[in-house]
Amino acid sequence: MFPTVKRLLTEISTCLIGLVVLYLCVRWRRFKSKSITRVSAADGNLTKPSAKLPAGPPSWPIFGYLPGLPKVRVWEVYNKWAETYGDMIYVPSFKNHIIILNSAEAVFELLERRGSIYSDRPHGMVMMQLMTLDRDPGFVPYDSKWRYIRKLYNQQMNTTEVVKFRDYQSAAAQSLLGSLLDSPEDFLRHCRTFSAATVMNIAYGHQIAPRNDQIVQLSEATGLAFSKASQPGYYMVDNFPILRYIPSFFPFASFKTFAAETKKATYRSRTVPFRQVVEGMKNGDVKTCFVSESLNDLNGVDLSPRGVKKDFDLEEFENREDVSLIKDIAGGMFGAGSGTTTAALHSFILAMVMFPHVQKRAQEELDHVLGSGRLPTFEDQPRLPYIGAIAQEVLRWFPVAPNAVPHTTSEDDVYKGYLIPKGAILIPNVRNLLHDPKIYPNPDEFRPERFLPDDNGNIARDPAVQGAFGFGRRICAGRNLAEASIWISAASLLAVFDISPALGENGKPIDVKPAFAGAPGLFE
Ligand code: HEM
């Protein structure tokens, strides 16, 4: 018996090794053939039979650049590479062609002007599929489903419509003030609660519990899983898709259990609040929110108490293509909008601590406009330009997403003589764009004045169009909301508090050192 098992195992191992060698040979051929692909170039040069891939750090055939992309202060690494390899840096990984775009010229030419072929997202992310997170609006391929998603987003969140959510934002800002008064040392958590409360109200009209809200906890777990699984190559199964079929009790298969748990959490975090809205609509108790407004706009759907028939089947309704997309969009809002807004608020507080003269000038503006005894409202916005400039500078000074979200090409292309293969992942060095000293002199200094007209009427370029919210057709769908949230929270905080460093054991203010920890969720 024993020798038979041994022989069987030997044969299986031989087969597996054979398969791996075959796979590597196929990859090697594809790898070699990429540099001689015939391309239809969008830069006007239509016959470039042998365009080369851009230069980049030394890498291994097949396995690519083994250290993998840097995780900390990435922009510094990219800037260093750019000194040697130029503004387009090729970093092959085991499965993908990764290209870093280090100059504004390359970023805007490719991701904006050539947006028709640079607006896809990475495909074949197995872990995302196993967790059902590939349905997230920020991740769906560039196709008709994505267009519908953007249409719905635009219907509810264009500059005019987004105003209907302001009450939620103002209320969350006021709660933030109360929480800070009670426990200022917990300011990081209070900022998170502010963002979560805003997003949950806007998505579902869901008023979160002050602590341990179940939907928020489920959404946070999902967001964390998303932030890992959305990084190309984070999980081995993304490099070797065949691993998805191994049973979860196998050694090294804990990813399957994790994926199954996340799938359940995703389902619950998206279904429970969605159903609350539908129930509310059926009972005539409707709150303004993305889900209720979008369902109301659907053709042939009437969820009012008079419109709902007795045999209304909720599951069947949820499975309608358009309804399930509304559910996915609302479900993705927490991941896209909560961690990012929190990170911006944290940067704002850091800036106020480090640049007290900015705080002082902002408070003078607030005192002048508000007098005493009332909080700022959105109606005051036109008369508070310095606060507006602070909100812009927050987005520039410590960009929440220093590499935005990668775009993928849907066709082979050539730029400046270099081949950009179909399916390549493009990573823009946003931090670099927002710290370009030619556009933003002394970029490390927090200086809101740059966004107010100087003596000649010149104003620095708005960070929102210089990459803080990404680029082209995939630019952040919630940026109007995000800007309003940052503005009202910053204005409210400055109207009420002096923000200064905590005191150390010696009774002196602690020395604050800025460091980038990343936004939890989509862009970590
Ligand atoms: C300070 C806050 C925020 C920042 C800095 C931010 C930044 C970004 C960035 C960099 C992208 C990727 C764009 C690209 O691929 O070029 C993005 C995408 C996206 N954001 Fe935001 N975001 C913020 C808040 C929000 C909020 C509040 C929402 C909604 C409630 C939201 C919804 C989305 C969606 C749906 C996408 C995917 C767009 C697509 O793939 O077509 N974001 N965001």
For the chain, percent of residues with pLDDT exceeding 90: 68
Model confidence pLDDT, tens digit, residues 182-199: 999 999 999 999 999 999
> How far apart are the two ends of the chain, measured CA to CA in Å?
52
Where helices occur in 35-59 by DSSP H, the ranges are none
What's the pLDDT score for residue 20? 59
Return the percentage of the chain with pLDDT > 70, whole number: 88
Nearest CA to ligand 1 atom 26: 337
The per-residue pLDDT for 169 is: 98
Write out residues with Cβ below 6 Å of ligand 1: 137-138, 150, 199, 332-333, 336-337, 340-341, 344, 400-401, 404-405, 407, 468-471, 474-478, 481-482
Identify which of 209, 200, 196, 223 has the alpha carbon closest to the alpha carbon of residue 290.
200
With both helix axes pointing from N to C terminus, report the angle between 321-354 and 290-297 in degrees, rounded to the nearest 10. 150
In this prediction, residue 23 carries a pLDDT of 59
DSSP β-ladder status, 425-428 and 88-92: unpaired
Residue 372: the pLDDT is: 79
CA of 475 to the centre of ligand 1 (A): 7
What is the CA(44)–ligand 1 centre distance, in A? 32
Determine contact, residues 330/203, Cβ cutoff 8 Å.
yes
Does the annotation list 476 as a binding residue? yes
Residues in the chain: 524
CA 297–ligand 1 middle distance (angstroms): 23
Distance CA 181, CA 179 (A): 5
Please identify, by atom number, the ligand 1 atom nearest to the C-alpha of residue 344: 1
Q: 13 Cβ partners below 8 Å, 6+ apart?
A: none
Query: Looking at residue 419, what is its pLDDT?
Result: 95
Distance of CA 435 to the CA centre of its chain: 20
At 66-125, the pLDDT tens digits run 777 777 788 889 999 999 999 999 998 887 899 999 999 999 999 999 999 999 998 888
Residue ranges of the chain whose pLDDT lies below 50: 1, 33, 35-48, 519-524
pTM for this predicted structure:
0.89
Count of beta carbons in the 10 Å neighbourhood of residue 306: 6
Distance CA 315, CA 275 (A): 10
Q: Which atom of ligand 1 is nearest to the CA of 483?
A: 1
Structure tokens at 185: 């040392």
- Tell me, in angstroms, the distance from the centre of ligand 1 to residue 337's CA: 7
| Residue to mutate (ligand 1; options 327, 328, 476, 516; most atoms within 8 A of CB) | 476
Q: 340 alpha carbon to ligand 1 midpoint, in Å?
A: 8
- Which residue type does 155 have? Q
In this predicted structure, what is the pLDDT of residue 36?
39
Distance 296 CA to ligand 1 centre (A): 25
Q: Among the atoms of ligand 1, which is closest to the Cα of residue 428? A: 16
